Structure 1
Amino acid sequence: MKNHEKIYLSVKDNLVTGEVFNLVCNAEMDFLRTTPMPKSEDLPLYYESDEYISHTDKKKGLFSFLYQLVKKWSLQMKVKLILEQTGTIGLLLDVGAGTGDFLRAAKENGWAVNGMEPNRNASKLALEKGIHLKSSLKHFEGKQFDVITLWHVLEHIPNLDETVLALSKLVKPDGVLIIAVPNFKSYDADHYGMFWAAYDAPRHLWHFSKKSIQNIFSKAFILEKTKPMIFDSFYVSLLSEKYISGRKFSLNALWVGLVSNLKAIQSKEYSSHIYCFRKTK
Structure 2
Amino acid sequence: MKVYLQTKDYFHTQETFELLYDSELDMLVTHPKPENLNNYYDSKSYISHTDRKETLIDKIYQLIKKYSLKKKYKLIDTFKTEEKTILDIGAGTGDFLKKGIEENWNISGVEPNAIARDIAKEKGIDLEKDLEHLPEQKYDVITLWHVLEHLPNLENQIKKIITKLKPNGYLFVAVPNYKSYDAQKYKHHWAAYDTPRHLWHFSQNSISKLFNNYKLKVVNTKPMYFDSFYVSLLSEKYKTGRPNYFRAFWNGLISNIKAIRTKEYSSIIYILKKEN
Q: TM-score, normalised by structure 2?
A: 0.97
Mean CA deviation greater in 44-53 or 198-207: 44-53
Cα distance in 1 for partners of 2:176, 2:109 equals: 22
| Contact in 1 for aligned 2:27/2:202 (Cα 8 Å) | yes
The reply to whether residue 90 of structure 1 matches residue 71 of structure 2 is no
The reply to whether residue 221 of structure 1 matches residue 213 of structure 2 is no
Match of 1:273 among 264, 268, 271: 268
Where does structure 1 lack aligned partners over 5 or more consecutive residues? none
Which AA in structure 2 matches 1:261? N
| Contact in 1 for aligned 2:82/2:140 (Cα 8 Å) | no
The reply to whether residue 118 of structure 1 matches residue 121 of structure 2 is no
The reply to whether residue 258 of structure 1 matches residue 234 of structure 2 is no
Deviation at 1:138, TM superposition (A): 1.5
RMSD over aligned CA atoms reads 1.1
Cα distance in 2 for partners of 1:44, 1:191 equals: 30
User: What does 1:121-140 align with in structure 2 at a 5 Å threshold?
Assistant: 121-140=115-134
Mean CA deviation greater in 241-250 or 74-83: 241-250
Deviation at 1:61, TM superposition (A): 0.8
Deviation at 1:220, TM superposition (A): 1.8
Which AA in structure 1 matches 2:233? L
1:79-106 CA distance string (max 9 Å, x none): 1111112356511100000000000001
Cα distance in 1 for partners of 2:81, 2:250 equals: 38
Deviation at 1:132, TM superposition (A): 0.6
Q: TM-score, normalised by structure 1?
A: 0.96
Deviation at 1:140, TM superposition (A): 2.9
Deviation at 1:249, TM superposition (A): 3.7
Cα distance in 1 for partners of 2:44, 2:246 equals: 25
User: What does 1:154-169 align with in structure 2 at a 5 Å threshold?
Assistant: 154-169=148-163
| Contact in 2 for aligned 1:14/1:243 (Cα 8 Å) | yes
Aligned residues: 275
1:197-237 CA distance string (max 9 Å, x none): 00000000000000000111113212111000000000000
Q: Percent identity?
A: 52
Cα distance in 1 for partners of 2:140, 2:91 equals: 17
Where does structure 2 lack aligned partners over 5 or more consecutive residues? none
User: What does 1:6-155 align with in structure 2 at a 5 Å threshold?
Assistant: 6-39=2-35, 42-87=36-81, 90-140=84-134, 142-155=136-149
Cα distance in 2 for partners of 1:89, 1:248 equals: 44
